[in-house]
Amino acid sequence: MKPMHINGEWVEASDGETIEVFNPATEEIIDHVPNGSAEDALKAIAAAKHAFNEWRWTSALERSEMLQEAARKLREHFDEVVELLTLEEGKAISENEEEVEWTIGTLEYYAGMIRNQRGRVLPPAERSQFNFIIKEPYGVVACIVPFNFPLLLMIWKVAPAVAAGNTVIIKPSDHTPLSTLRLAEIVFDHFPPGVINVLTGRGDRVGDVLVEHPDVPVIAFTGSTAIGQRIAGLASKRIKRLHLELGGKDPFVIAPDADIETAVEAVAYAALINAGQVCTSTERVYVPQEMGETFAGAISDFVAGLRLGPGLDRQTDIGPLAALAYREKVAGHVADAVAKGAKVLTGGQAPEKLGRGWFYEPTVLVNVNHSMKIMREETFGPTIPIMTYRTFDEAIALANDSDYGLGAVIRTNDPRLAKRFFEEVRAGTVWINDPLTDNYAGPFGGMKMSGNARELGEEGLESFLETKHVHWDFSDEPKPFWFPYGRE
């Protein structure tokens, strides 16, 4: 069993409870981790709070060097971490190699940024005055991380939070805690005790304690909108700083001028990477009416040729879903669509030939509409529902017809259509021709019910800093506007 990492020590749950960690490709138990208790959560909070008292005064140069050292160590253990991540999370090994590369790059990015971030000087109102803005760390940050990119979405929070001078408590997903614990052991081990803690356990045992405790002023969460709403409710009593990156139902619009062959490959990638378990996965596809039948046939043929299998197999294109419950949700969305008139062109079931594992065939559907769950709710699986439109105005209206606003994609070489799309579609990120490509310097986050967070870029660092205005007057003379007002 892999214990938790609290205050630089490895500890088991105070009551001895454990959580089984499965390989989603085989349904076999890989390991166990502690199912932390409220008592364990309180220990982690106390450790992080105590460490903050020193860490906040550690120079930016020292913090930068520690982040650089973490990046170097992760590079040294690259293959080992990729393999462990693939075993517990399931996606294709090439995708996990990219995740670890991005994790390293994020550490390096914030190591560089923190060297020159502190605040700014303002022009004063009087000659004797000095006005400036300083940015200060909040304190303890709870980083609650999902299963689909357990290292990347963790480091998008941890790197800027720690760089800013905060301490962190990482609560990884119950499905994917092993790689995060391994990083605590081999990558973060040079940080002072209590600066980076890893607390495993169910949300109702440790998550609620983190969200409600007065000594945890910031909650950084990536996950479903429903859980985000619950966190917001619990945290509202103390007006905490909420950093919520929630669900998505991203549209992909194929413009009339788009090449069908390349559009097919772009949509397949955007919809099926990590078996569709990406918050910015394409979950709604809109095609011009005159291209609809041709496009649907072409993408069905392309998708049918993709290979399902365990992520460690280099020939695998699409791995399993993370757990049985997620596969059942995908199957339920497909069944709902079919019952309401949709047609499955390919896929639509768990593959029999693979036997064990939580796999689901990549599925292409047509005749869908916005009354169906598969076009309204986050599916988070390998589905491509295709709907046709008559005019570009209609395409934009359909893209905006969602409670979510995380990302949106368009394929076009017409700059007029591209401009209309990025100006009129309500989404935090708009990709033109190159879906799901991120940039360390480009803030990532959503609009509407997709949350209020911005990760990466300067905005990612700002999320973990409080703003303080200092007004300093060097003169000790009384001011003419002070009491009594009748003074001459």
Q: Which residues are known catalytic residues?
A: 245, 279
Greatest Cα pair distance in the chain: 94
Contacts of 316 (CB under 8 A, 6+ apart): 92, 93, 307, 308, 309, 310
Strand 250-254 to 167-171 pairing:
unpaired
Q: What CA–CA distance (Å, rounded) separates 180 from 113?
A: 24
Contacts of 392 (CB under 8 A, 6+ apart): 255, 256, 417, 420
Nearest CA among 5, 2, 3, 464 for reference residue 197: 5
Q: What CA–CA distance (Å, rounded) separates 30 from 461?
A: 35
Q: What CA–CA distance (Å, rounded) separates 227 from 207?
A: 11
Given a contact cutoff of 8 angstroms between Cβ atoms, the answer to whether 457 and 118 are in contact is no
Distances (CA, A) of 69 to 153, 188, 190, 231, 438: 20, 9, 8, 33, 24
Look at the alpha carbons of 175, 181, 182, 184 in this order and tell me if their dihedral is positive or negative: positive
Token pair belonging to 149: 């990119």
DSSP output for 246-314: ----EEEEEPTTS-HHHHHHHHHHHHHGGGG-STT-EEEEEEEGGGHHHHHHHHHHHHHTPPB--TTST
